[in-house]
Amino acid sequence: MTEISSALSIAAAGMRAQSARMRIIAENVANANSTAQAPGADPYRRKIPVFSDELDRASGERLVRMNKVRPDQSKFRTVYDPGHPAANAQGYVKYPNVNTLVELMDMREAQRSFEANLSVIENSRAMLTRTVELLRNR
């Protein structure tokens, strides 16, 4: 039974990590076309989740968690639009360094990982249920 509870805690940690990842991706997508508040200022900067493994003292298992969020240091997109309120002196507007296609691919990957962890939990639950049924029928 210890193996099943370990699988459950590992899968649950994976689901929490992927859920946090999806929240960051959603924030990136929501801000993909935003501009700065002031002319020439920097717009929203894409965020990247950073994961780490940590020891769960209760179970003794190494679990994944989102450790921190760091800013993506890639360059901002610029568009020539001198009439825009956020345009700099040369007429260029800075847009976030968010590529929506990349974000959607990351979201799909996070979703599949979440679903895989959910499947582990469902299968573990089914095995526990079957074990209890077998013990009752002895």
Mean pLDDT of the chain: 92
Q: What is the pLDDT of residue 7?
A: 87
Pairwise CA distance, residues 67 & 17, whole Å: 9
Q: What is the pLDDT of residue 2?
A: 72
User: How does DSSP classify residue 37?
Assistant: S
Task: Give the global pTM.
Answer: 0.85
Segment 63-73 shows an average pLDDT of 94
Q: Which sequence spans correspond to the domains of the chain? A: 2-136
pLDDT beyond 70 at 126: yes
Q: What is the pLDDT of residue 58?
A: 78
- Structure tokens that stand for 90 in this block: 């040369």
Please tell me whether residue 15 adopts helix, strand or coil conformation.
helix
Q: What is the pLDDT of residue 61?
A: 86
Segment 74-96 shows an average pLDDT of 93
Extended strands (E) in the chain: 47-55, 62-71, 77-80, 92-95
Q: What is the pLDDT of residue 1?
A: 46
- pLDDT per position as a tens digit, 109-119: 999 999 999 99
- pLDDT per position as a tens digit, 28-60: 999 999 998 888 889 999 999 999 998 888 778
pLDDT beyond 60 at 105: yes
Q: What is the pLDDT of residue 27?
A: 97
pLDDT beyond 80 at 120: yes
